[in-house]
Amino acid sequence: MILDKKIAHGDVIVLDGATGTEIERLGGKMDAAAWCAVANMNDPEKVQQVHEAYMRAGADVITTNTFATCRHVLAGVGLDNDTVAINQQAVKLARKARDVVAPSRPVAIAGSMSNTVAWQPGFISPDPRFIPSERQETANYREMANTLADSGVDFLILEMMLDIDHASRALEAAVATGLPVWVGVSCSLEDDGAVVGWDLATQGRITADHTPPLPLPLDEIIDALQKIGGDVFGIMHSTVEATTPGLQVLCERWTGPVMAYPEATCSAQPPTDQTDRLPPPSFLDSGNVSPEIFAEACRGWIDQGVQIIGGCCGTTIEHMQAMIDRLPAQVGDRLPVG
């Protein structure tokens, strides 16, 4: 993989920031069930624009707009028969952006996979009509992993892994492609100080008839996934506050390269028509994390040994530029005194 030398030398690797929320910020169309998946076909120029902006800022990795493009998610908007084409288009847009901005620089394309589901409009609860069986889910992950690999991504990045069962199916499919696999685990910090897989019940916008499963301890999730495979593990789509203890748990159990890319939680004004409400950009209703605070936190994690750094939902080009301006060349380097 084109970043192998950087990883081996201990160089800091810069991931991009948010994809979906940046597409939306540029005016791209979002969908209540499949979030940013529809933008690959409806707003391809905006998807490409986001990729190009992150590379111009200095990103070493751009992530395909495929967080929500698995077959059972696209079924929620009647696009399941277009699954392969939508994923191919996402990779094509990322490759095209790289050809425009960084034809001679080693920028890697990460094929994003998640275990998200089709949402009920206005909520982050699954639509029961489109919840796949275990067999269907496994087949869908294999289809997606193989499509991304065949379309030319450099590696696969699993995003928002927050349990064992669903995450294991996705990871098994990714590992089977033979590509490098980076595993992004999302976590929450409970009131009692426990670090658990991302706790859906605390995030709001849950339907009255949906009872989310109890979150598992983060260490159990990491232990289970490590047994399957993965070349990099990290904490992502977690608040800045939860990322630090999450990384502590991870580093007690994982000795390979570590990544971190938290969200910068942001507020969303609820529309007046409840049926048309979209989940807020970060899935949360909380205050913004400024680019300066975000950059300071990222620098702290690098100083503690994190090698791969970036941002998730709500992080903008401004967040990433502020972060990049503060980064050392290698893990362990320090800012000059004065």
Which tens digits make up the pLDDT trace of 30-48? Answer: 998 898 999 999 999 999 9
pLDDT(251) > 60:
yes
Q: Residue 333 domain-assigned?
A: no
Q: In this predicted structure, what is the pLDDT of residue 45?
A: 98
Q: Residue 330 domain-assigned?
A: no
Question: For residues 240 and 247, what is the distance between their CA atoms, to the nearest angstrom?
Answer: 11
C-alpha separations of 131 from 21, 65, 75, 120, 301 in Å:
25, 22, 10, 11, 37
Rounded to an integer, the average pLDDT of 258-281 is: 57
pLDDT(55) > 80:
yes
Q: Residue 131 domain-assigned?
A: yes
Q: Residue 204 domain-assigned?
A: yes
Rounded to an integer, the average pLDDT of 105-121 is: 94
Q: Residue 337 domain-assigned?
A: no
Q: Residue 165 domain-assigned?
A: yes
Q: What is the CATH number of the domain that holds 46?
A: 3.20.20.330
Q: In this predicted structure, what is the pLDDT of residue 189?
A: 94
Phi, psi values for residue 9, rounded to 5°: -85, -5
Both tokens assigned to 34: 């499949």
Q: What is the mean pLDDT of the chain?
A: 90
C-alpha separations of 301 from 12, 143, 157, 232 in Å:
11, 35, 20, 16
Residue type, 139: A
Question: For residues 147 and 52, what is the distance between their CA atoms, to the nearest angstrom?
Answer: 23
C-alpha separations of 109 from 51, 114, 148, 220 in Å:
10, 16, 10, 30
- Percent of the chain exceeding pLDDT 90 equals 80
Q: In this predicted structure, what is the pLDDT of residue 11?
A: 95
- pLDDT: which is higher, 121 or 203: 121
Question: For residues 19 and 42, what is the distance between their CA atoms, to the nearest angstrom?
Answer: 15
| Number of independent structural domains in the chain | 1
Domain enclosing residue 81, as ranges: 4-325
The pTM of the full predicted model, rounded to 2 decimals, is 0.92
- pLDDT: which is higher, 282 or 234: 234
Q: Residue 140 domain-assigned?
A: yes
Q: In this predicted structure, what is the pLDDT of residue 333?
A: 73
Helical packing angle, 317-325 and 291-303, nearest 10°:
40
Q: Residue 53 domain-assigned?
A: yes
Handedness of CA 298, 316, 65, 206 (dihedral sign): positive
pLDDT(330) > 50:
yes
